[in-house]
Amino acid sequence: MPKTDDEKGYVDVVNGRYKPRGTFHVIEKNQPIFNKDTGKLAGVTNPRDMTYIHSYGGEAIFFESLGKGKLMASRCDNEKCDSKGSIFEPFRIYCPDCLRKAKPVDITEKARKTAKIHSFIITERSGAFNTLPKPIKFVNVEFDEEVVTILMSVLSVGEPEIGKKIIPIFRTKSPTYTIMDLMFVAEGTKESDLPDGFTF
Ligand SMILES: [Zn+2]
**The pLDDT value given to residue 85:** 97
Residue of 77, 74, 76, 150 whose CA lies nearest to 106? 74
Asked, for residue 52, whether it belongs to a domain, the answer is no
Give pLDDT tens digits for 72-91: 999 999 999 999 999 999 99
Residue of 98, 95, 93, 94 whose CA lies nearest to 81? 98
Residue range 159-179: average pLDDT?
97
56 C-alpha to ligand 1 centroid (Å): 21
**The pLDDT value given to residue 6:** 82
96 C-alpha to ligand 1 centroid (Å): 7
Measure the CA–CA gap between 167 and 50, rounded to whole angstroms. Answer: 36
Asked, for residue 114, whether it belongs to a domain, the answer is yes
Domain of 185, CATH number, reads 2.40.50.140
The mean predicted confidence, pLDDT, of the chain is 95
- Residue 101 phi, psi dihedral angles, 5° rounding: -65, 130
Asked, for residue 67, whether it belongs to a domain, the answer is yes
148 C-alpha to ligand 1 centroid (Å): 12
78 C-alpha to ligand 1 centroid (Å): 6
Number of structural domains found in the chain: 1
108 C-alpha to ligand 1 centroid (Å): 22
Residue 175, C-beta contacts closer than 8 angstroms, at least 6 positions apart: 66, 67, 181
89 C-alpha to ligand 1 centroid (Å): 14
Give pLDDT tens digits for 102-132: 999 999 999 999 999 999 999 998 888 898 9
**Domain span including residue 142:** 57-199
User: DSSP states of 133-192 as a string?
Assistant: PSSEEEEEEE--TTB-S-EEEEEEES---TT-BEEEEEE-SS--SSGGGEEEEETT--GG
